[in-house]
C-alpha cells in the first residue's frame, strides 16, 4: 500500500472532518455518562492536527502517524488524548515506510495492545477498546473498507447496553447502561473516515 502525499493529506483531512463535524454529537453522548467534553476535546485535538498541515503530509506515513499521535496527546486533554494519541503513535512506530496491508494489521495489533496498557483496560469495559478489538478482527480477517466501517458502527452500537467498568462512566455504575460510549463512537467515526479515505479492498 503506497500512500502519496495527496493521499496522506486526504487521510488527515478526513479524520479531522469526522471529529469536527460530529463534535456536538460526541459531546451530547459524553454529557449523558461522562464529563461532557469529549466532542470539544477531540475537535480541539484534530484542529491542532490540521494546523500542522501542509508539513504534516510531507512526512512519511509512519512519521505522520507519530506526529498526529503526539499532537493529540498534547492537545486533546482528558483521558482520550493519551489513549487515542498512543494508538496513532504506536501505529506509526510499528509501520515500515511503505507498508503492506499485513504490516498495517500487525502494527494495529501492537497499537491496540498499547492502548490497553495505557488505559489498563480490556474489551468489555465500555471503552474505545470495544470498537478497536472487534474491528481489528475484521481487518485482520481481510475485510474491505465497507465491512470494516460497518463493524465499527455496530461495535459502537453494542456499547449502549454495556455496563461501564472503566473510565468516568464507571462512576455511574448501572446508570451507564443504555447510553453509547462516547469514546467508542469517536473511534468508530475515525475508523470509518480512515478506511473510506484509504479505500481498503478485501483480501482473502
Partner 1 sequence: MSSSSSGNVGIVIVSHSSKIAEGAADMVRQMVGNAVPLAWTGGDTDGGLGTNVAGILEAIEAAWSTAGVAILVDLGGAETNSEMAVEMLAEDRRARVVVCNAPVVEGAVIAATESSGGSSLAAVKRSAEEFYA
Minimum CB distance to partner 1, residue 37 (Å): 6
Residue 183 within binding range of partner 1, rule CB under 8 A? no
| Contact in structure between 200 and 105 (CB atoms under 8 Å) | no
Nearer to partner 1, 117 or 137 (CB): 117
d(CA 39, CA 111): 23
Minimum CB distance to partner 1, residue 74 (Å): 5
Q: Return the residue of 61, 83, 108, 128 that touches partner 1, per CB under 8 A.
A: 83
Minimum CB distance to partner 1, residue 65 (Å): 17
| Contact in structure between 143 and 191 (CB atoms under 8 Å) | no
Q: Return the residue of 73, 107, 108, 189 that touches partner 1, per CB under 8 A.
A: 73
Residue 22 within binding range of partner 1, rule CB under 8 A? no
Residue 82 within binding range of partner 1, rule CB under 8 A? yes
Alpha helix ranges (H) inside 22-163: 23-33, 38-50, 55-58, 61-75, 80-94, 101-119, 129-140, 145-158
Residue 193: CB partners within 8 Å, gap ≥ 6?
Answer: 14, 15, 17, 18
Nearer to partner 1, 114 or 198 (CB): 114
Residue 47 within binding range of partner 1, rule CB under 8 A? no
Nearer to partner 1, 38 or 179 (CB): 38
202: cell is 478485501
Q: Quick one: angle between helices 61-75 and 80-94, nearest 10? A: 170
Minimum CB distance to partner 1, residue 138 (Å): 27
Minimum CB distance to partner 1, residue 83 (Å): 7
Amino acid at each position: 500500500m503506497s500512500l502519496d502525499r495527496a493521499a496522506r493529506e486526504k487521510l488527515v483531512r478526513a479524520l479531522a472532518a469526522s471529529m469536527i463535524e460530529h463534535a456536538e454529537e460526541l459531546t451530547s453522548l459524553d454529557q449523558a455518562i461522562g464529563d461532557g467534553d469529549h466532542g470539544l476535546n477531540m475537535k480541539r485535538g484534530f484542529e491542532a492536527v490540521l494546523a500542522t498541515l501542509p508539513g504534516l503530509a510531507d512526512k512519511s506515513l509512519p512519521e505522520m502517524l507519530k506526529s498526529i499521535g503526539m499532537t493529540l496527546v498534547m492537545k486533546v486533554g482528558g483521558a482520550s488524548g493519551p489513549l487515542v494519541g498512543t494508538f496513532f503513535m504506536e501505529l506509526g512506530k510499528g509501520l515500515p515506510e511503505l507498508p503492506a496491508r499485513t504490516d498495517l494489521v500487525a502494527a494495529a495489533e501492537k497499537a491496540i495492545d498499547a492502548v490497553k496498557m495505557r488505559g489498563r483496560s480490556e474489551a468489555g469495559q465500555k471503552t474505545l477498546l470495544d470498537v478497536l478489538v472487534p474491528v481489528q478482527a475484521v481487518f485482520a480477517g481481510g475485510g474491505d473498507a465497507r465491512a470494516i466501517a460497518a463493524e465499527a458502527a455496530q461495535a459502537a452500537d453494542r456499547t449502549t447496553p454495556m455496563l461501564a467498568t472503566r473510565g468516568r462512566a464507571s462512576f455511574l455504575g448501572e446508570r451507564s447502561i443504555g447510553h453509547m460510549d462516547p469514546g467508542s463512537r469517536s473511534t468508530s467515526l475515525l475508523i470509518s473516515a480512515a478506511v473510506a479515505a484509504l479505500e481498503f479492498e478485501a483480501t482473502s
